[in-house]
Amino acid sequence: MKDSARAVIIGGGVVGASVLYHLAKIGWRDVLLLEKSELTSGSTWHAAGGMHTFNGEANISRLQKYTIDLYREIEKLSGQSCGLHPNGGLMLAANEGELDSLRLICSRARYLGMETEMVSLAEAHNLNPLIDTSHFIGALWRADGGHCDPSGTTHAYVKAAQQLGASVERFTRVVSLTPRRDGSWDILTDKGAIRAEHVVNCAGLWAREVGHMAGIELPVLAMEHHYLITEDLPELTGRDREIINTTDYSGEIYMRQERRGALIGTYEPHGVVWAPLMTPDDFTMQLLPEDFERLAPYFEVGFRHFPALGRVGIRKAVNGPFTFAPDGNPLVGPVRGVRNYWVACAVMAGFSQGGGIGLVLSRWMAENDPGQDILSMDVARFGAFATPRYTALKVPENYSRRFRLAYPNEELPAARPVRRSPIHERLIAAGAVMGANFGLENALWIAPEGMPPAETPTYRRSEAFPVVRAEAHAVRRSVGLYETTNYGKYEVTGRGARTWLDRVFASRIPKPGRLALAPMLNPAGRIVGDLSIACLAEDRFLIIGSGFAEEFHLRWFWQAEPPADVFVRSAASTLAGLSIAGPRSRETVQRLTRIDLSAEAFRLFQVTETAVGFAPAILTRAGFTGELGYEIWTTPDYFATLYDDLREAGRDFGLVHFGGRALSSLRLEKAYGSFNKDFRPDYTPGETGLDRYIDFTKPDFTGRAAALAERTAGARRRFVVMEVAETQAEVVGFESIMKEGAAVGYVTSGSYGHCVEKSLAAGYVPSALATEGARFEIDILGEMRTATVRLQPLYDPQGLRLRS
């Protein structure tokens, strides 16, 4: 065995094999995969091999399509068959909500270049004659997908990688990992030691344990999963083509042809966690005992929906474990604080996702950039809140919902509440309907007295619509209060702070007493953050960003290597905040502070440290509503008092609470984009419009060369807000934006603009088409709607209210 390698990949399942192949393909030939047993011996060998392109997030869908298209390439290179059955897919809806979700998939698929359409039940039956269509009301057909042979596919990756110079050692167990000062690793195996520049955890069922070897706790857990293979079905004899792979959402069943019989699997509601504390070392090429008693009611649904399957015997039953992250998406990327340690685990759909994961991870390792937006599978979307207990509750919830369609207004209940602000109980008492962001509870909307604080999951307007409208109007008319504790907060201090920030951020770094909007770019000139920086003193800064991106930004700061005279720390749990917005906000806050808040004395983007009521606070004149407004930050011990004081101070002006939903409406009326939704690492300063905050006079900052090049060449696309005509439902996100029958972009966010009385959709369109009044079409739940570009914000285009 070699005693050194540029990268060592731990785990020879389908994911490790793909990472090996992609690293070799990108030119890293000195790469070594270590497998403690036979290749595929974890969860890979007994998988059903199903592959599909659909994922609720467009970037992951695209990578799934890449994965499926890749199989022909590795077959050719390796000479090894992947056992492909590219027979496409059918998704069945049994109620209106499911039908809406299929319509949404159709709308999204166009820009992704995926052939998809709604089909009649008669057509569905033609594609799969085993369906009893009386249980369903509609169906979606997609060309991509089918199934493959798990073992053949894994071996094809490995053989293709070996052809490119990569190495594999089977029956070689990694026992420990020890980092060296230079960032490289000593890898101890049962066959000797290896030194490697990089280590990749692709250990599947053992990813948790291989995480422990580097001192990290990954939020990953295995669930038991059953499928059955029936005896031959007479209905299939004489057919010249295989039936189409079918997903039955209401039945929580997937089924496909397996030789002359059928394979049927279920994601039952009360799934069983496997190996909750430690994965057994010797679980190799093994299955688990079947539990028919527990599973019978769920398979019976399948036998009702596909009756022919219940008329024959069961040839084989499989119960095997595989791993999930709390939200069901993979965990990919580098881990903050651990140099050159990469993860590619919690992959629950290895045959749809393995190729894409290998592609982005190999680029990330070689070029320090995944090359595209993969926030939704970045390991950094979880932070300290994702403890083993959290994972133990969230993973079974996710498993039970694998085939339940996620409604855009739905908040999942497991592991809630985890993080609560000091005013949580007060907000609940006021009727707040809560969501969770990075584990922290935050108010989405506030049910008025007499209305239950709950919402029916739907793709259309819910009972919250008129309540959100009232909140938005109250902010524009008088004054509203919104809790901002769930924003990401960081303190950067020290003598070298300004110089370091100047390098990390593309914007001007403000002088003491001022706040600046601050885009952050990666070396390729793409947006990795849209934050604001408040300068409290020459050597003290408060940075505010998106709460969900806290770990992502902390990792970014860590990778930017603050020197010894710069201290960066998260203020997530040490600062809590409130936003007071609306024309009466000045009078409200003025009642609690001695400093002069008049327009001339405390201007937009001014910041100061002062007492607000009883609370020592950081007070900024800023906000996200487009109104006159203030953000007030204090420590958690003063926070409830500050809240009480503000409510009292605003009482005469009719101060109301407003939640995240009203904020989305207010910000889109002002055409403000939001990081995570509208601004992500796929987009550039020119495309987002954030270039206006870039200080090109600075000689050096990350992403400068790329941003300058874009400035010279012009942006290819442009972020726009559109008015959508005659719709009774708002866009959700990722719907295709159509022009003359061709998909030219996709929607990034949407909301009803309650104060401008228009349905609004934000997204990117080619620059040449981004003109005032340009018309596009968006398919919203099966209806083509005209969307008209408005280049000026629909509300207060001159920003007079903001500056008032």
The number of beta carbons lying within 10 Å of the beta carbon of residue 637 is: 10
Binding to ligand FAD by residue 46, rule CB under 6 A? yes
- Using the minimum distance from each CB to ligand FAD, give the nearer residue, 317 or 428: 317
Q: Considering only residues 317 through 376, tell me which ones interact with ligand FAD, judged by CB under 6 A.
A: 318, 320-322, 345, 347-352
- Using the minimum distance from each CB to ligand FAD, give the nearer residue, 215 or 466: 215
Q: What is the DSSP letter of 258?
A: E
- Using the minimum distance from each CB to ligand FAD, give the nearer residue, 201 or 588: 201
Binding to ligand FAD by residue 47, rule CB under 6 A? yes
What is the Rg, in whole angstroms, of the alpha carbon atoms belonging to the chain?
Answer: 27
Binding to ligand FAD by residue 210, rule CB under 6 A? yes
C-alpha span between 3 and 289 (Å, rounded): 40
* The only residue of 32, 34, 233, 656 in contact with ligand FAD, by rule CB under 6 A: 34
Q: How far apart are the first and last CA of the chain?
A: 72
Binding to ligand FAD by residue 617, rule CB under 6 A? no
Binding to ligand FAD by residue 168, rule CB under 6 A? no
- Using the minimum distance from each CB to ligand FAD, give the nearer residue, 212 or 514: 212
Q: What angle do helix axes 350-367 and 14-25 make, rounded to 10 degrees?
A: 40
Note the residue count of the chain: 804
Report, in Å, the least distance between residue 129 CB and ligand FAD.
22
What residue spans of 478-540 are helical by DSSP H? 497-504
Q: What angle do CA 540, 544, 549 make, to 5 degrees?
A: 130
Binding to ligand FAD by residue 744, rule CB under 6 A? no
Binding to ligand FAD by residue 48, rule CB under 6 A? yes
Binding to ligand FAD by residue 689, rule CB under 6 A? no
C-alpha span between 445 and 465 (Å, rounded): 10
Report, in Å, the least distance between residue 87 CB and ligand FAD.
14
Binding to ligand FAD by residue 15, rule CB under 6 A? yes
Binding to ligand FAD by residue 581, rule CB under 6 A? no
591 three-class SS: coil
Report, in Å, the least distance between residue 202 CB and ligand FAD.
6
CB 139 within 8 A of CB 121: yes
Report, in Å, the least distance between residue 392 CB and ligand FAD.
19
CB 233 within 8 A of CB 405: no
Binding to ligand FAD by residue 10, rule CB under 6 A? yes
C-alpha span between 722 and 725 (Å, rounded): 9
Report, in Å, the least distance between residue 218 CB and ligand FAD.
12
- Using the minimum distance from each CB to ligand FAD, give the nearer residue, 89 or 750: 89
Of 20, 44, 31, nearest to 161 (Cα)? 20
Binding to ligand FAD by residue 13, rule CB under 6 A? yes
Report, in Å, the least distance between residue 740 CB and ligand FAD.
37
Report, in Å, the least distance between residue 228 CB and ligand FAD.
10
Binding to ligand FAD by residue 103, rule CB under 6 A? no
Binding span for ligand FAD by CB under 6 A among 14-22, 230-238, 366-374, 551-559: 14-22
Binding to ligand FAD by residue 35, rule CB under 6 A? yes
Binding to ligand FAD by residue 145, rule CB under 6 A? no
The number of beta carbons lying within 10 Å of the beta carbon of residue 212 is: 14
Three-state helix/strand/coil letters over 421-478: CCCHHHHHHCCEEEEEECCEEEEEEECCCCCCCCCCCCCCCCCCHHHHHHHHHHHHHC
Binding to ligand FAD by residue 25, rule CB under 6 A? no
Binding to ligand FAD by residue 65, rule CB under 6 A? no
Report, in Å, the least distance between residue 658 CB and ligand FAD.
42
- Using the minimum distance from each CB to ligand FAD, give the nearer residue, 121 or 288: 288
Residues 658-681: b if buried by 16+ CB within 10 A, e if exposed: bbbbbbbbbbbbbbbbbbbebbbb
Binding span for ligand FAD by CB under 6 A among 315-323, 391-399, 756-764, 782-790: 315-323
Binding span for ligand FAD by CB under 6 A among 1-9, 42-50, 547-555, 790-798: 42-50
* The only residue of 8, 20, 31, 49 in contact with ligand FAD, by rule CB under 6 A: 49
CB 704 within 8 A of CB 519: no
Binding to ligand FAD by residue 227, rule CB under 6 A? yes
Three-state helix/strand/coil letters over 616-682: EEEEECCCCCCCCEEEEEECHHHHHHHHHHHHHHHHHHCCEECCHHHHHHHHHHCCCCCECCCECCC
Q: Which residues bind ligand FAD (CB under 6 A)?
A: 10-16, 34-37, 41-44, 46-51, 173-174, 202-206, 210, 225, 227, 318, 320-322, 345, 347-352
